[in-house]
Each structure stands twice: as C-alpha cells, then as structure tokens.
Amino acid sequence: MHQNLKVSSLVGSLLVAVPLTLGLAGAATAETTITAVMQAPLRSLDPVITTAYVIRNYGYMVYDTLLSVDANGDIKPQMLEKWEVSPDGKTYTFTLRDGLTWHDGKPVTTDDCIASIKRWAKQDKMGQVMETLTTSMDKVDDKTFSMTFSAPTNIVLRALSKPSSLAAFMMPERVAKTSPSEPITESIGSGPFKFVASEYKPGVQAVFVKNQDYVPRKEPPSGMAGGRVVKVDKVRWVAMPDAMTGINALKNKEIDFIEQAPYDLLPILEQDKDIQLIVAKSQGGQPIMRLNQLIPPFDNKLIRKAAMAAIDQKAIMQADIGNPKYYATCGALFGCDSTYASVAGSEDLIKAEPEKSKALLKEGKYDGTPVVIMHPTDFANAGGSFVPVIAQQLRQGGFKVDVQAMDWQTVVTRRASQKPVADGGWNIFTTYLSLADITDPLSNYTVAANGKQAWFGWPTSPEIEKLRQQFATSADAGELKKLATEVQKLAMEEVVVVPLGEFSVVAAAQKSLKGILNAPVPVFWNIEKTKD
C-alpha cells in the first residue's frame, strides 16, 4: 500500500509537474510584442537629417542621448555618468557611464560622441547656435571629452538634452561622419531597442527587438530621463492609412496602441471597456499661422497686426480639434504650461476684433490686394481643418483673401519660395509644431528673426536676435525667464508668428498595456504587456 502510495504520488506529481513545467516553459518563451500604429509611417531612417516626428520617435528606439529632461524639466544624465563645469563656466567635461555598447557589440567611445555632436550641430537650430559659441571639443580619453565655449553658457546642456527635433542622438563615429545632407544608411545605435532591418518595409512596418545588452540607468523613469527599461520582446510599428481601420483593429485586439487617435472617433473608443485613452498633453502641439514678411502686404507691421487682431483662436481650435477637452486657447509662444510660458503681447489673439483690424488696415494703407493663404486639404492639423475659418476671420477683419487649396507637399515646396505671389510665392501658410519643439526662444525656430536665414516667412528683428543670443549665453534661471518673456513680447509686437492655441494628443491602447509613460515623445520603454 505504502509502495502503491509512493508510486501513485510519483505518477500524480509527474502528471501535475510535466504540464506545469511545459506551461511555464511556454510562458517563459512566449514572445511579447506590442503592435503600434504611429502618427505617420516610417519611410526614412536618419533622425538628424529630418525633423519629421516619426523619425524622431524611431531615433528614441534605436539611439540614446547623452542627456535628457525629466518630468519636471530638469536636465539629467542619460548616457553620461556625470558632467563637470569649470569655475569660469566656459568648459564642460563629460564622462560616459559604464556598459554602453553599440548594437554591433563595439563599445561607445568619446570619438563617437564628438562626431555625432558635430553632425547634429550642423543641422539642429539650437545646435547651430551652440556651434557658434564652441571654441573646441576635445577627447580626454575613451570615456571623457570636453567642450569649451567662448563665453560662460549652459546652452550645451539645454541643447543636448532637448527631447524633440532634432534630438542629439549618438551614433558610431563611422556613421556620424556622413555629411549632414546625406542620409545615413545604417541603423546601429546604442539605445534600448535594436532595429530589425530585414523586416523593415518603408511605409508599411518597422520592427524593433529588445536590446539585451542595453544597461539602463538605475533611476526610475521620469519624462525622457531615468532608466529606459524594456519590458517586452518586440515592438512592431504598422502603418494604417485609414483611421477607421486602426480603430476597428484596436477594438478587435489586432493592435495594441494608436499613437494619435482621431478626435472624432474617440467616442467609439470611450465606450470600450478594454481600451484606455491617454491624454498626452506634453505630446500635443501648437498650430501656427505664418505671414510672409518679405513681400507686401505683410512686409508692413501694421497689416501684420491687423491680421493678428482678426484672429479668434477659439473658433480655429474648435474647427481643428472640436472637443474643448483636448484644446486650449493661449498666446504663449513657448507653450501654455512651460517654464518660459508668457502670454505677454498676445491679447489681440484670443478674441477676434474685426473693427481694430479694419482700423489697422486703414492706417497701414492696405491696397485691397488679396492675400494668398495656402490650404493643405490633406493634412487636418496643419490647416486642412481650420484654414477656411482663418480666411473668414480675415475677411471679417477687412482683408481680401484668396484661399488656394493644395496638398501638404505642395505647401511644403511653395512656402520655400521667396518670390512675389504672381511668381509662385505666398502670403500665409499654417502648420503645427510639437510642444516639445517650442519650449524656449532657441528651440522654437519660429521666433528666429534673422531675415532670409530664418524659417519660412523670414521675419527680421535684430532685437529678437540679440535677445536669443543672450538667451544662448545665459545660465541664470531668472534671467532666462526674463529674456524669454522679452522675446515673447517682441515677437508678438512684430507679429513674427501667430500662435493659434494648443492641443493635446490622445493615444489609445489596450488596457493590457501598463506603464505607458507621460513623456514629451511617445516611448516604448517601461511598457508591460499583461495577459488580461
């Protein structure tokens, strides 16, 4: 009996243990994959050559940055162990942390970082300012390098930590030596994910696998800073040209995540108990109106001010977003809730003042020539949805308006023309900027006012440029705030750019995804995919 009991116990144990073991083994080897639909399909792979947001997001998967900004806006080390500043505030010495390797297994060295900074600084607007102040960049050893500037400044910290286009991604030296106007052809980074080139189909899908060799920081994640701990095996970005298909696929559990769910389809998702909506304010954007200051009538400040007086932000944001839950009216050029937020000089923007606009037009001797506004009918957030509203407001303000419908790519081409309207030029175009791109007078390239060197619209204001230069060389928080407010005031006075409000992005995900970070850029570290 005893023997029988032993035998039966053994058999029973086996019966329980074998399936359990098999089950556990199965669970251990089951691959967790997040399938995500991003805001645009990935079609190219150089995050330094372009400011396209999807390529920036790809950059954060594959590459790493020396510094990053946490949820409070503080600058933190990322690839760095530490940095030191010389007593005169002119020299910064950076030390890389241990365990950094490229995806091909080679160690990350200071030569790689120096080459990467040089290539990035040629392209990035803040990097270009930093470059003008840089007197030398020297290797100390394989893990340490220094940068010396002509004046005391902390621009290097602000530039290398800024989260958005163009983020200062580190690349192997041989890749970073590529000319900045020539796209790189390799996807070798040192970031938390590895890019699977063999599964890449431009415009269709991009696949990333967990970088098993990545050593994350020990600190908890916060904003873009802290440990970039990957908790899934694979992330698949799939393109879905039809928004409704994406929503249906999410509801049918064929995908896990939509980076930007269309506002008009949100009610469908709100009713689904298995789906979570994430209002990502920091990933939101600021629609803007840009006036061409090289040619009449907007070469006249009074007429620019008339256009600003004609604007009613609420009507525009209602047409753009529709649901007040996801937008705000605000005239702050550097973001309504940012460190440098100021609404100075933007009083005329919030509510339309057609009579004031008409008076300014009269004073400015507007001759009634129609102003050409480009209407990108295929790109809602860039103006497709709200240009007709702007046109009507301008008409009510006394302007004659010629709305020209075209696709976004034609706008992108035509806005580069500095010629008169009759020769293919333009007077007004609209677009939007990611909030992560506009946080201060250097990163917000729309306030640059150095004439033909400035962004499309080419405003000229030596005072603004002087303030921006001072902003670049200052390191005092109080002074920086004061300078930013001055830029805001002057930019509004000169109508360098017309902000039209601010909107939040709404991401949609299966509830089985836990740990989605509220960062200024959609990131895939820290996300777990549970079975429920």
Rounded distance, CA 28 to CA 425, Å? 61
Q: Which residues contact 266 (CB under 8 A, 6 or more apart)?
A: 277, 323, 506, 508
Amino acid 454 reads: A
Q: Please give the Cα distance from 308 to 496 (Å, whole number).
A: 11
User: Among residues 147 and 239, whose Cβ is nearest to other proteins?
Assistant: 239
Quote the strand ranges of 97-153, DSSP E. Answer: 134-141, 144-149
Q: Which residues bind other proteins (CB under 8 A)?
A: 41, 43-45, 49-52, 55, 123, 125, 165-166, 179-183, 185, 201-205, 238-242, 244-245, 248-249, 251-252, 254, 378, 406-407, 409-410, 412-414, 416, 418, 431, 433, 437, 445, 452-456
Residue with tokens 């607007």: 125
Report the alpha-carbon distance of residue 532 to residue 530 in Å, rounded: 6
Contacts of 53 (CB under 8 A, 6+ apart): 39, 40, 164, 165, 434
Sign of CA dihedral 175, 181, 182, 183: positive
Q: In 397-476, which ranges are continuous DSSP H helix?
A: 408-414, 462-473
Q: How far is the CB of 260 from other proteins (least distance, A)?
A: 16
Q: How far is the CB of 165 from other proteins (least distance, A)?
A: 6
Question: Closest separation between CB of residue 520 and other proteins, Å?
Answer: 16
Q: Hey, what are 165's tokens?
A: 């286009």
What minimum distance in Å lies between the beta carbon of 249 and other proteins? 5
- Work out how close the CB of 278 gets to other proteins at its nearest, in angstroms, rounded to a whole number: 22
Which pair of tokens denotes residue 438?
Answer: 């506009």
Which of 299/407 has CB closer to other proteins? 407
Nearer to other proteins, 48 or 115 (CB): 48
| Smallest separation, CB 240 to other proteins (Å) | 5
| Amino acid in position 241 | P
Please state, in angstroms and rounded to a whole number, the distance separating the CA atoms of residues 418 and 512: 51
Q: Name the strand (E) or helix (H) holding 507.
A: strand 502-510
What CA–CA distance (Å, rounded) separates 148 from 92? 6
Q: In the bound complex, what is the minimum distance in angstroms from residue 418's beta carbon to other proteins?
A: 8
